[in-house]
Amino acid sequence: MKSRRPGLVSIHLNTERGMRGGEVQCLGLVQGLAGAGHRCILAAPEGRPLFERARREGVEALAWSPRGEWDLGAALKLRTWIKASGARIVHAHTAHALTTALIAGRGLKDVKTVASRRVSFPLKSFLSVAKYKAADAVVAVSAEIAEGLALRGVALEKMHVIHSGVDLSRFQLMPAKDEARAALSLDGPGPVLGLVGALVEHKGHRMLFDVLPGLMERVPGLQVLLAGEGNLRAELEERARLAGWPVRFLGYVEDLPPVYAAMDCLVLPSLSGEGSPGAIKEAAAAGVPVVATDVGGAGEILRQEWEALLVAPGDAVGLETALFRVLSDGALAKRLAEEARDRVLAFSMERMAQAHAQLYFALTGRGPGTPS
């Protein structure tokens, strides 16, 4: 009988003070690796959502709040943790954390630095490019991100495309649609269109609002749910109020399955910046048909006309047309949802964790690497 390889020790760094998709992925990866027998330590700002949630869920978490990228005190603290834990992998889940990780690991020959890149925004400064070049490996969550990094000179052999995962178990027992709508105080039999994402410029909420008047004329009784927080909330709330639109602002929602259960369609009209959009994978797992812009890795996850309807970013006419198709054609909506539910099995948290473990073993000379 083959003996099981001993687990690796890794430290995972996150400097964000909110709880968005990247933080959900960071926590999911740490939990997935720990569940497979590896020791994972999460270093994150104390008192912030990621740190508090990790502690609640039994994750080994250390309080770590660098004051900028060049905080030498934070780097020294991290270096002490690396030596004390015997960590062989230091994984930076944010760009700011990567700088500190590289400083902390300088001269530690057996310690490898991994950087995650989750957004498709181009790297602009010399420092931004230099630190990704300096990492031992870069995990890009979509092929588009990997291509963008390669254009800036990051070595292809350092890059590994590993899409973000989704916790499929959360969507196995979904509430009934009527029950979910009642819990959200949604009235009437009309269809419900949902958007899950931060209320920020690049997520495309304004474009969705641009097409709402025409869409509501074509789809009687349409209601809209927006789950997320951001700096556009006041502007969007005022626009919806003045127009008298049936738009509900739910704010940040941690327990999303009941929200997806209330939907007839998820829309993600992002203009730029997407990596491996979690919302479309969650909707697929929940059995909700998806209309999205073909930004970042969206088309790598759900394919046009097979598992979703995809339109070009900024194409308001195409967005309205695609939404009308899904909201008015029950057979199309059902087919897309069924195909997407099968497709999303390839993007589970377990598969994501396994791919990272393979990469870590390859970096430390303890096993084969993952294909780039």
Q: Give the global pTM.
A: 0.84
pLDDT at residue 127, rounded to an integer: 87
Distance CA 149, CA 227 (A): 31
Six token digits for residue 214: 């025409």
Judge contact between 370 and 359, C-beta under 8 A: yes
Judge contact between 117 and 139, C-beta under 8 A: yes
Domains and CATH numbers, the chain: 9-165+348-363 (3.40.50.2000), 169-347 (3.40.50.2000)
Distance CA 263, CA 46 (A): 35
Six token digits for residue 132: 């990704």
Question: Which CA distances in Å does 202 have to 112, 197, 270, 302?
Answer: 33, 10, 6, 20
Judge contact between 83 and 105, C-beta under 8 A: no
Six token digits for residue 29: 């990866």
Per-residue pLDDT tens digits of the chain, which is 372 residues long: 343 456 899 999 999 998 888 999 999 999 999 999 999 999 999 999 999 999 999 999 999 999 988 999 999 999 999 999 999 999 999 999 999 999 999 999 999 999 999 988 888 888 899 999 999 999 999 999 999 999 999 999 999 999 999 999 999 999 999 999 999 999 888 999 999 999 999 999 999 999 999 999 999 999 999 999 999 999 999 999 999 999 999 999 989 999 999 999 999 999 988 889 999 999 999 999 999 999 989 999 999 999 999 999 999 999 999 999 999 999 999 999 999 999 999 999 999 999 999 999 999 997 554 433
Distance CA 318, CA 340 (A): 21
- Tell which residue, 137, 186, 372, 165, has the closest CA to residue 282: 165
- Tell which residue, 204, 184, 211, 175, has the closest CA to residue 317: 211
pLDDT at residue 296, rounded to an integer: 87
- For 260, the 3-state DSSP assignment is helix
Report CA torsion sign: 143, 149, 153, 156.
negative
Judge contact between 146 and 116, C-beta under 8 A: no
Cα dihedral 243→246→251→257 (10° resolution): -150
